[in-house]
Amino acid sequence: MATCQVCEVHAESVFKIEGMDCHEEVAILEKRLKKITGLEALHADVLSQRLTIQYDAAKLNTSTIAEAVAQTGMRAWLEHEQPTGVAPSAATRRLYVALAGVFVAIGMVLEYFGLDRRLVVAAYAAAIASGGIYSGRRALHAARSLALDINVLMLVAVAGAMVLGEWGEGATVVFLFALAQLLEARAMERARGAIRALMDLTPAEALIRDASGAFRRVPVDAIAVGDLVVVKPGEKIPLDGMVAAGESHVNQAPVTGESLPAEKGIGDEVFAGTINGRGALDVRVTRRRGDSTLARIIDMVERAQAQRAPSQTFVERFARIYTPVVLLLALAIGILPPLLLGASWSDWIYRALVLLVISCPCALVISTPVSVVSALAAAARKGVLIKGGAHLERLAGVRCVAFDKTGTLTKGDLRVVAVTPLNGAVPERILQLAASLEARSEHPIGTAIVARAREQAIALSSVEQFQSLPGLGAEALVDGRRVVIGNHRLFEERGVCSREVHALIEAATLAAGGQTMVIVGAEEPIGIIGVSDRPRESAREAVRMLREHGIAHVALLTGDHASAAQALGDAVGVDEVRAGLLPEDKVRGVEELRGRFGALAMVGDGINDAPALAAADVGIAMGVAGSDAALETADVALMADELLKIPYALRLSRATLRNVRANIVFSLGLKAAFLVMAVMGVATLWMAVVADMGATMIVMANALRLLRE
Ligand code: ADP
Ligand code: MG
């Protein structure tokens, strides 16, 4: 339970609700709960069976809420707690369904041999009683709150069949319905389990070494930040942390989806749930269990699946009209022909009952979320976090992809390759000033310059008033002197670029073929530092695959100099290169490209490129494992630096959309066919049940296929 920090009165609790399988049940819950005083808001998520409730803690407590839910025939308990109260176990449910099947079979045999009608009816009645025990109870609860859920419809249909003397039919319907509900629950469990399976990746206990050097095995929940965990070869890493001793290869697939193990040494970051290779590692814990990267991934996937995809909203709106229309039709069919045309009452009432059975839109309503959740879970297992069904659908419509350069299309693992003095400066002094300044910077260029200074054992000076100039460079006071570092554009803007420097930069960039040139200036430019970066090996392949998936235009948007950008663009095979862009120019570039080519995905690093990512239809951030800010800002977050995950995500989103459409068309088509057959009197009750439940099963099975994508 979370309480409002200001007033300690507004509380929020999350319940698990057993029995909330369809949106009809949500309506029932809402009706019942709305009457309670102190309740402020509620939000239901059918697929994960969670109900989030906001309430006034002064007037209401969680047990009152749980009791109210119990009155609807469903069962509620606080998430993260054990379920309370007695519930039929899965085994007893299966037993009752099996019993119903046996009684139906007995009834049929008796009927076949023409035995006493009373015996036959008794067998069928026993089948109805044992098969209908659960849904019958639910139906009564639903009917009491005047809701027409599937249980009520079935109850009416079966009661009608009994009144018409069609006992065999009623019994078959009850049996099939109970069986289908069992199977359906199993399929739902699989979709939910796909996400939970991620959670099981972290061990429950870990070996820690305390200050005295003694080893102790303790529950992971009891471990604090700063503790030292010992991970043996082949073990799972229990918590996020930093390697303090040892060397090993770690299989990070569970978190990042990377296929190759990553090399880890002292100072490297490791994630909970990843698997240690042959070396032993001492890991200094940096995050508690609940904050680990994996825990956040799971949290995000769960939040993502609670969001509605546009097609889901469409289906739900359709269902809201469909059910009442079919019910009205059933009423008309059952009454009008016998009344006006003198047709047989029993014949037409029977047809009306068939309509009742097919009036439930559950297959239709459940199919979209199951597809979306399956896709989100499949993606998460590959290290691709998609923040919701809406993003997934938008991704499927993307026509144009724009890439950032440094760290995205290139490795971002930069190296200083040349230092050219200007105006009589000394190379060591240039590096010394530049590195002192860059020691404060987050930019990969800065990291490269600092690394070079360290290699040459150059001592750094103190720095004040550091300021980063996004897309341009940085400036600060070094030993009280103003020092500026950055690209050509920055120096032009400041009016300190001479014709000579300009020519030198042009010539050097061209000669070096793709190096990034940054100028260092005090009062005047004192040197040029050439930094090289390599394109990612998979960059060319990724761009090619994007084309294969029908992406019409691939662009490179960068703040770097034109010739360096063009060299990379040519190597990777993009259609267009836009260089010398400030962050706001990138946003304008995104908007312009979208106007020309349609929906656009921007791929960047999530921190530096946040505005452009936000402006795109889909913002994709790369290599976000361990970087919380990037994980939050993007619509799609790639845990690892793997460009090939972008065509994968595209393919998955399209497959999901196709899956959803196929399911909608299939279930609608089947409904339409049965509607016609029911009115014409050629469909029987049990056929309608089989069709309806069969449709649900087929649609779910089809959706679950996405788990394997
Ligand atoms: P990209 O678009 O490739 O991600 P940025 O927008 O981060 O590049 O930066 C654009 C250009 O600005 C760089 O190519 C570099 O010339 C200059 N620059 C930015 N930050 C720095 C820095 N900290 N030190 C030196 N140059 C920088
Ligand atoms: Mg960048």
**Can you spell out the DSSP letters for 65-129?**
HHHHHHTTT-EEEETTS---S----HHHHHHHHHHHHHHHHHHHHHHHTT--HHHHHHHHHHHHH
Residues 231 and 275 in one domain: yes
Residues 390 and 467 in one domain: no
Element (H, E) at 205: strand 205-209
Q: What is the mean pLDDT of the chain?
A: 86
- Span 63-103, pLDDT tens digits: 888 888 888 878 888 877 766 555 556 788 889 999 999 99
Q: Which of 45, 227, 404, 560 is catalytic?
A: 404
Residue type, 44: A
Tally the C-alpha atoms within 13 A of residue 585's C-alpha that lie toward its C-beta: 14
Residue type, 556: L
With 90 as the cut, is the pLDDT of residue 184 above it? Answer: no
Which of the listed residues 78, 98, 128 is the one where a domain comes to its end? 78
Tally the C-alpha atoms within 13 A of residue 693's C-alpha that lie toward its C-beta: 23
How many other C-beta atoms are found inside a 10 Å radius of the C-beta of residue 534? Answer: 15
With 50 as the cut, is the pLDDT of residue 141 above it? Answer: yes
Where residue 127 falls among pLDDT bands split at 50, 70, 90? very high
Task: State how far the alpha carbon of 33 is from the alpha carbons of 53, 71, 271, in Å.
Answer: 10, 10, 42
Residues 541 and 528 in one domain: no
Most confident of 20-29, 156-165, 506-515: 156-165
Going by CA atoms, what residue is nearest to atom 27 of ligand 1? 473
Going by CA atoms, what residue is nearest to atom 21 of ligand 1? 473
Range of the domain at 15: 10-78
Between residues 6 and 451, which one has the greater pLDDT? 451
Which of the listed residues 39, 57, 78 is the one where a domain comes to its end? 78
- Which atom of ligand 1 is nearest to 559's Cα? 10
Residues 566 and 644 in one domain: yes
Specify if 492 maps to a domain: yes
Mutate to test the pocket of ligand 1, among 487, 490, 588 (most ligand atoms within 8 A of CB): 487
**How is 309-367 classified by DSSP, letter by letter?**
PHHHHHHHHHHHHHHHHHHHHHHHHHHHHHHHH---HHHHHHHHHHHHHHT--HHHHHH
Specify if 287 maps to a domain: yes
Mutate to test the pocket of ligand 1, among 406, 410, 411 (most ligand atoms within 8 A of CB): 406
Residue 404 among the catalytic residues: yes
Structural domains in the chain (count): 4
With 90 as the cut, is the pLDDT of residue 592 above it? Answer: yes
Specify if 634 maps to a domain: yes
42: CATH: 3.30.70.100
Q: What is residue 485's DSSP assignment?
A: E
- Span 517-573, pLDDT tens digits: 899 988 888 899 999 888 888 999 999 999 999 899 999 999 888 888 898 999 999
Contact status, residue 463 vs residue 478, Cβ threshold 8 Å? yes
Residues 550 and 517 in one domain: no
Which of the listed residues 55, 78, 101 is the one where a domain comes to its end? 78
Q: How far is the CA of 459 from the centre of ligand 2 (A)?
A: 28
Specify if 484 maps to a domain: yes
567: CATH: 3.40.50.1000
Residues 567 and 648 in one domain: yes
Where residue 1 falls among pLDDT bands split at 50, 70, 90? very low
Q: What is the pLDDT of residue 556?
A: 95
Q: Which residues line ligand 1 (CB under 6 A)?
A: 404-406, 438, 441, 443, 445-446, 471-474, 485-487, 516, 518, 558-560, 608
- Span 669-698, pLDDT tens digits: 988 898 899 889 888 888 888 888 788 888
Q: What is the pLDDT of residue 606?
A: 66
Q: What is the pLDDT of residue 66?
A: 86
- Span 325-383, pLDDT tens digits: 888 999 999 999 999 988 888 889 999 989 888 887 777 777 788 888 889 888 988 88
265: CATH: 2.70.150.10
- Residues 136-162: what's their mean pLDDT? 82
Residues 528 and 556 in one domain: no
Residues 548 and 613 in one domain: yes
517: CATH: 3.40.1110.10
Residues 492 and 445 in one domain: yes
Name the residue with tokens 């889909």. 618
Contact status, residue 277 vs residue 239, Cβ threshold 8 Å? no
Specify if 665 maps to a domain: no
Predicted TM-score (pTM) above 0.85: no
Mutate to test the pocket of ligand 1, among 560, 568, 602 (most ligand atoms within 8 A of CB): 560
Residues in contact with 544: Cβ distance below 8 Å, sequence separation at least 6, in sequence order = 573
Specify if 700 maps to a domain: no
Residues 471 and 611 in one domain: no
Secondary structure of 118-179 in the HEC alphabet?
HHHHHHHHHHHHHHCHHHHHHHHHHHHCCCCCHHHHHHHHHHHHHHCCCHHHHHHHHHHHHH
Q: How far is the CA of 471 from the centre of ligand 1 (A)?
A: 5
Ligand whose nearest atom lies closest to the CA of 586 = 1
Contact status, residue 351 vs residue 338, Cβ threshold 8 Å? no
Specify if 122 maps to a domain: no
Residues 504 and 463 in one domain: yes
Q: How far is the CA of 178 from the centre of ligand 2 (A)?
A: 57
